[in-house]
Amino acid sequence: MKLTLGKIHIQDIVFSDETKLENGVVHIDPSQLERKVLEDDKIATVSFDVAKPGESVRITPVKDVIEPRVKVEGPGGIFPGMIAGVDTVGSGRTHALAGMALVTAGPIVGFQEGIIDMSGLGARYTPFSQTINLVMVCTPREGIEAHEYERAVRMAGFRVATLLGELGRNVEPDEVREFETLDFVEGLHQFHDLPRVGYVQMLQSQGLLHDTYVYGVDAKKIMPTVLYPTESMDGAIVSGNCVSACDKNPTYIHLNNSVIDDLYAEHGRTLNFVAHIITNENVYLADKERSSNQTAKLCRMLGLDGVVISQEGFGNPDTDLIMNCKKIEAEGIKTVIITDEYAGRDGRSQSLADADAAADAVVTGGNANQVVTLPKMDKVIGTLDYVNKIAGASAETLQEDGSLVVELQVITGATNEVGFNTLSAR
Amino acid sequence: MGFFVLTNNPMVHERAASGIEVVFAAGGIKGVFECAARYIADGHRLLTHPLSGSVKPGETPYKSVLLAGEASPAMDDASARLISEAFAACDKFAERSAFWPAHTLRDLQMIDLSLIEGALESARCDGMQAQ
């Protein structure tokens, strides 16, 4: 399967009386986007704002971050099973509006989602301080249950992102890359002298507001399965996860998965990137056993020599992570696990809730309990009403001078476990 | 083989009427874990992960866990390890839930309920019966 991904470098977003893309500038007619959002009567109001890198702007509470894309050639459409039909995606040609993001924000549940600062210390911890962000702040119709409203905002985000992605359909991209994964037999012949490497991606799937969808299917209902790595570039995996801002994968990160990107960079040179295996992170212990058994089985069936495993979340998923690692290693396949740490504010506590000697190659996204002080921003998009309630904040978070004393947990993407973050020991 | 829910979540407790046996545990999350540890010591196996959900201990006062109804003669080591690790994890998070307003507490109850409902569905698929 081969996908040509064309990136259109977005230079600016401006409000206008017409929605269009011209010379790298996205023009937005807010009333057109508003109509698209309010197609769902569970959403009472929506407003749009733009936040640019370096501005004194804080966006909170952030729900999802989405990169607009459009399928130009080949089967299916972006966000299959959610917006497009369920054709298998990942081949043909796709255009992305690179350098911008659609950020969905606004109150959903009593404890709220993350923070994106566009400048200051906080900007250094979130990858989304570097994108030009079109922020969509929604409010719910009165009396709507939180989980119904979450779905409404999630789907509205995909509808607007799809509308924006369409603007790039007939635009010549600034940058074009090709990604190709051969089928099992062809790959075996062509790269017979290279180690066969797979990517096991664990998807958050514990329950209400902790969900991920694959071709529209709730990931907690799936058995582990194999994707071509290009499928996620067309939105085959999307986020419905509203908790744990620092280490959840917003849809933007599913579309731009760093592990997939890095493995493709070495594909055909130092390794043969064979497959993207997805599995879940359920609450029921027998589900964990079943999924990790099947994941290890798939790794063996594919004749893998090595596997990179990425986690999403903390605590309960630590057990899935270690089960996957142990069982894949028991098949004689080397593993590297990517996680983050909850090592306490002083960094001295046990980092994970589970461990095993087989997990001897670990990459960390950082300590989510690390405390930082974020300076006051001149402008807030969304509301600070919930800032004391976000995971990693406290009743004392909002200081008199407007600064925030918080753990890294509050910052969207700060300790991301597919490596789409800025923390590094380099 | 049967199961029961151990919880301090009133919204889960109300579900006793729908045929699920629910044991109410007093206290916060640590109280639930202490009670679960006693059941595990008596030979009941843990059926769900005690750190379910990404709402951390300290951020929510509610926790529900599923336990096997039948006690085995020997304690299940894996269950004992999980509950012990979960108990230790609680100390990494500051207790903040005492400050929450009623509507936030309701949201937290609903999320805990949904997590355990997902597990109950899996348990039924496994052919397990409520106590």
Where are chain B's structural domains?
2-130
In a domain, A11, yes or no: yes
Q: How far apart are CA A404 and CA A245, in angstroms?
A: 16
pLDDT score for A23: 97
pLDDT category at A111 given cuts 50, 70, 90 is: low
Q: Are residues A146 and A40 part of one domain? A: yes
Give the highest mean pLDDT range of A251-255, B30-34, B111-115.
A251-255
Q: Do A203 and A346 belong to one domain?
A: yes
Residue A73 binned pLDDT confidence (cut-offs 50, 70, 90) = very high
Could you read off the pLDDT of A338-372 as tens digits, one per residue? 999 999 889 988 888 888 999 999 999 999 999 99
Of B108, B118, B123, the CB nearest to A110: B108
A407 within domain boundaries: no
If one counts the domains in chain A, the total is 2
Beta strand A175-180 with A2-9 is antiparallel
What pLDDT is attached to residue A390?
62
Q: Residue B99: name the closest of A68, A229, A389, A311 by CA.
A: A389
- pLDDT (mean) for B96-120: 83
Question: Is A130 found in the same domain as A18?
Answer: yes
Q: Reduce the DSSP state of residue A382 to 3 states and report it.
A: strand
Domain end residue (candidates: A126, A151, A180): A180
Domain of residue A14: give its range: 1-180
Share of chain A above pLDDT 70, in %: 96
CA distance A95 to chain B (A): 34
| Main-chain phi, psi angles of B84, to 5 degrees | -65, -45
Which among A138, A242, A299, A325 is annotated as catalytic? A242
Residue A291 lies in a domain: yes
Supply the pTM of this predicted model: 0.94
For residue A412, the chain B residues in CB contact (below 8 A) are: none
**pLDDT recorded at residue B89:** 83
- What per-residue confidence (pLDDT) applies to A386? 67
Angle at A135 between CA A134 and CA A141, to 5 degrees: 140
Interchain pair A283, B96: CB under 8 A:
no
Q: Which residues contact B38 (CB under 8 A, 6 or more apart)?
A: none
Q: Does B83 touch chain A (CB under 8 A)?
A: no
- Is residue A111 included in any domain, yes or no? yes
Residues belonging to chain B: 131
ipTM value for the complex: 0.88
Report the pLDDT value the prediction gives residue A24, as an integer from 0 to 100: 98
A206 contacts B115? CB cut-off 8 A: yes
Is there a single domain that holds both residue A112 and residue A245?
no
Mean pLDDT of chain A: 94
Share the mean pLDDT of chain B.
86
Residue A294 in this model has a pLDDT that exceeds 60: yes
DSSP state of A271: B
DSSP helix/strand/coil, A378:
coil
Residue B77, min C-alpha distance to chain A (Å): 14
Of B49, B60, B104, the CB nearest to A316: B49
In 3-state terms, what secondary structure has residue A207?
A: strand
What's the length of chain A? 426
A71 with A171, same domain: the answer is yes
Three-state secondary-structure class, residue A167: coil
Give the pLDDT confidence score for residue B1 in this predicted structure: 63
Contact A232, A276 (CB under 8 A): yes
Distance CA A73, CA A169 (A): 10
Overall average pLDDT of the A9-35 stretch: 98
Residue A207 is nearest to which of B93, B96, B115, comparing CB atoms? B115
Residue A79 lies in a domain: yes
Q: Is the CB of residue A138 less than 8 Å from the CB of residue A170?
A: no
Question: Are B54 and A248 in contact (CB < 8 Å)?
Answer: yes
Residues A270, A161 within the same domain: no
Question: Which residue from B minimizes the CA distance to A285?
Answer: B48
The residue out of A367, A383, A399 marking a domain boundary is: A367
User: How many Cα atoms are found within 13 Å in the side-chain-facing hemisphere of A191?
Assistant: 20
pLDDT band for A300, please (50, 70, 90 cuts).
very high
What is the reported pLDDT for A335? Answer: 98
Residue B90 — pLDDT band, cuts 50, 70, 90? confident
What is the structure's pLDDT at B126? 74
Residue A376 within a domain:
no
B92 vs A: CB within 8 A: yes
Say if residue A216 is in the same domain as residue A174. no
**Residue A227 structure tokens:** 């994707």
- Of the two residues A351 and A28, the one the predictor is more confident about is A28
The last residue of one of the domains, among A129, A152, A180, is: A180
Name A65's Cβ contacts closer than 8 Å, sequence gap at least 6: A101, A102, A103, A104, A116, A128, A131, A133, A250, A251, A252, A253, A412, A413
Beta-carbon pairs below 8 A across chains A and B: 128
Q: Are residues A145 and A99 in the same domain?
A: yes
Give residue-wise pLDDT tens across range A205-221.
Answer: 988 788 999 999 999 99
Do A160 and A261 belong together in one domain?
no
- With 80 as the cut, is the pLDDT of residue B27 above it? yes
Residues A44, A37: contact at Cβ < 8 Å? no
Q: Which two tokens stand for residue A145?
A: 């249950």
Verify whether the Cβ–Cβ distance B99 to A353 is below 8 Å.
no
Do A134 and A236 have their domain in common? no
CA dihedral of residues A108, A113, A118, A121 (deg, nearest 10): 150
- With beta carbons under 8 A apart, name residues in chain A contacting B116: 283
Mean of pLDDT values over A124-146: 94
Beta strands A25-28 and A12-15, pairing class:
parallel
Same domain, A197 and A232: yes
Q: Is B12 on the interface with A (CB under 8 A)?
A: no
Nearest by CB: A394 against B91, B94, B101: B94
CA distance A218 to chain B (A): 12
Mutate to test the interface with A, among B7, B49, B112 (most CBs of A within 10 A): B49
| B96-101, Cβ contacts within 8 angstroms, sequence gap of 24 or more | B96/A394, B96/A395, B96/B58, B96/B59, B97/B28, B97/B58, B97/B59, B97/B60, B97/B61, B98/B61, B99/A388, B99/A395, B100/A110, B100/A111, B100/A389, B100/B61, B101/A110
CA of B47: which chain A residue's CA is closest? Answer: A285
Residue A29 — φ and ψ, nearest 5°? Answer: -95, 105
Window 17-76 of B: residues touching A by CB (8 A cutoff) are 46-49, 51-56, 59-60, 66
One DSSP character per residue, B39-108 reads HHHTTPPB-B-TT-SSS-BTTBS--EEEEESSPPSS--HHHHHHHHHHHHHHTTS---GGG--HHHHHHH
In this structure, the answer to whether residues A77 and A199 fall within a common structural domain is no
Assigned domain for A411 exists:
no
A380 domain residue, yes or no: no
Q: Å from B6 to nearest chain A CA?
A: 14
Q: Among this protein's residues, is A246 annotated catalytic?
A: no
**CA closest to B123 among chain A residues:** A284
